[in-house]
Structure 1
C-alpha cells in the first residue's frame, strides 16, 4: 500500500464506530464502520488454500502479495488519506497474518462489559419493534433469553467476537495489540485518543468531542436495525439501568478478563 494502515477490531457495541468518527476528524486519517475487507480476506485465504485444485502453483510469497494487494486495490484510488483504519471483528484472529503483511500496523480492539453489550443490542431490537433485524436473521419471534443465547454462542455476533478477542489477547502476537475500553472512550475521550496516537506513532490532533458526526450511508436501515452505528454529536456517558432481567445481566459479570492484571502476562496495553 502507498499509505499506512491500522486495524480496529474487538467487541460489538463497544465504541468502534465512535472511535472511527473521532479519528476521521483528522484530515490525514480515513476510518469507517466495519467494511468488506475482512470478509474478502477470509475468502481469499480459503480460495488460495489446498481446496483449490491449482494450489500447487501458489506459494506463501504469492499468497502474501495477493493479500497485500487486496488492501491496496480496495483503498488506492478511493481514499486520499495518509493513514487508513480498517474495521472488522475478524482482525483479532488474524494478528499473525497482519503482523507478517504489515509489520508496522497496529490493532486497536474495543472492549466493553458483555452485559452492557447485550443490553445495548436488546435496546436496539425493542426500539425497532416493527423492523426485524438482520442480527437475528430477520426473525420476529423469540424472547430476550433466546436472543441473548443467539448473540453469545460461539457463532453469534457477541460470542464470536469475544472468543476472537481472547484468542488475540492470550496469543503470541500481542506486540501490536491494544485494548481500548468503552468506558474510557466515552468518559475521557482526550486520554483515549492520546493513547491511540501514541500507540500508532502519529502526532496528536486536536479533536472536537462536542461535535462528532458519522454517516453509515443507510447501512443500518437496510439491516433492519436503525441506530446500530449511530453516534451522538457529543461524546459522553449516559447513566441508565439495564433492561435485561437480573439473572441474565449477572450471567456476564465475570467476563471482563482484561481487568485482571494476573491474566495479562504479555503486558497487553489496556486503556
Structure 2
C-alpha cells in the first residue's frame, strides 16, 4: 500500500507560471472549504498520501487575499493607479510567494472555510479551480464543537471567545450567529452553492467520507480531473498537535489512524440538537438549482 509522503511541494515552475496572464500555464490549484468539524482535515490527510499533491489544514492565504483586496480598494487614495490586471497579478503573487519554488507537488489544495465566499475572486485568478466543500449535519457539527470545549474544560477556548461563564446555550448561540464559527461558514457555503460559480463546487459529506472513503476520494479525483490513486485508509497520518496546543484546544485537529465511522450519543440538550435538524439544505434535491455535485 502506498505510504504517506511527509513533504509536499510545488513544481519549480509555479512561481513563473503563476505570474503569466490569466489562465495560461498555471499549475493546478484547488481549494478545500465548507463547514467546520466536517472532515476537511481528514480529507487533507488522505490527499497528502498522493506524492503529487500538497494539502494541509487551514492556511492564512484567504486572510491575506482579504487584506490585499482591502488595501487595493478605493479606500486607498492611490487606488486610481491600480488596474484590475495589476490586482490579479498581486493576488496571484501571494500564492506564488506562499507556495514558493522550493515546493515540488504538482497539485496544490489550499484549505480555508472562507474560500466558499470567494468564488468570484478565485474565478478571476484561477479559472480552472475547484472547491471541495466538506459538509456535515449541522447538529453534529455543533455537538463536535461543544464536545471539544468540554474536553478542554480547564482551558477557555477561542471558539467561545475565551468566555468562562456561559452555558452550552450561550456557546451554541455564538457558534450559530452570522459571524460565528458555524454561522459564517454556513452562509459562505450557501453563497457558493446558489451562486453563479457553483460549477466549480463539489460538496463532500462527512458521512460519506468516513463510511465509504474509497468512493469519496474517487469522486474528488473525478471532479478535479486527476488520475486515480490508491489510498491507505487504515494508515492515515496527520499531526497538528503544536498548532492545537497553541490555540488552547489540544486534539482539535486529531485524525484517527483508521478511517471509520464512530457512532455516539450527543452531548447537546435535545432541544439544541433538534434546532439544526433541517439545516442540511444540500440534501434537498429540489433546492440544488445549480446541479452541484453532492457526494
TM-score (norm 1): 0.98
State whether structure 2 residue 248 is matched by structure 1 residue 241.
no
Does the CA-based 8 Å contact 2:54-2:108 persist in structure 1?
yes
TM-superposed CA distance for 1:203, in Å, is 0.6
Q: C-alpha separation between the residues in 2 aligned to 1:135 and 1:119? A: 13
- Show the 5 A alignment for 1:1-271: 1=14, 2=17, 3-216=27-240, 218-271=242-295
How far does the alpha carbon of each residue in 1:213-268 deviate from its partner, in whole angstroms, 9 at most, with x for none?
A: 10115111111111111100000110011110000000001100000110001100
Count, aligned residues: 271
Runs of 4+ in 1 over 3 A off after TM superposition: none
Q: C-alpha separation between the residues in 1 aligned to 2:264 and 2:241? A: 29
Paired residue secondary structure (2:183): helix
Q: C-alpha separation between the residues in 1 aligned to 2:180 and 2:275? A: 16
5+ residue gaps, structure 1, are: none
How far does the alpha carbon of each residue in 1:108-127 deviate from its partner, in whole angstroms, 9 at most, with x for none?
A: 00000110000001111111
Between stretches 233-242 and 77-86, larger displacement belongs to 77-86
5+ residue gaps, structure 2, are: 1-13, 18-26
Between stretches 220-229 and 1-10, larger displacement belongs to 1-10
Paired residue secondary structure (1:85): strand
TM-score (norm 2): 0.90
CA RMSD of aligned residues (A): 0.9
Q: C-alpha separation between the residues in 2 aligned to 1:255 and 1:22? A: 28
What residue in structure 1 maps to residue 10 of structure 2? none
Does the CA-based 8 Å contact 2:34-2:186 persist in structure 1?
yes
Q: C-alpha separation between the residues in 2 aligned to 1:82 and 1:198? A: 17
Paired residue secondary structure (2:108): strand
TM-superposed CA distance for 1:135, in Å, is 1.3
Q: C-alpha separation between the residues in 2 aligned to 1:232 and 1:59? A: 48
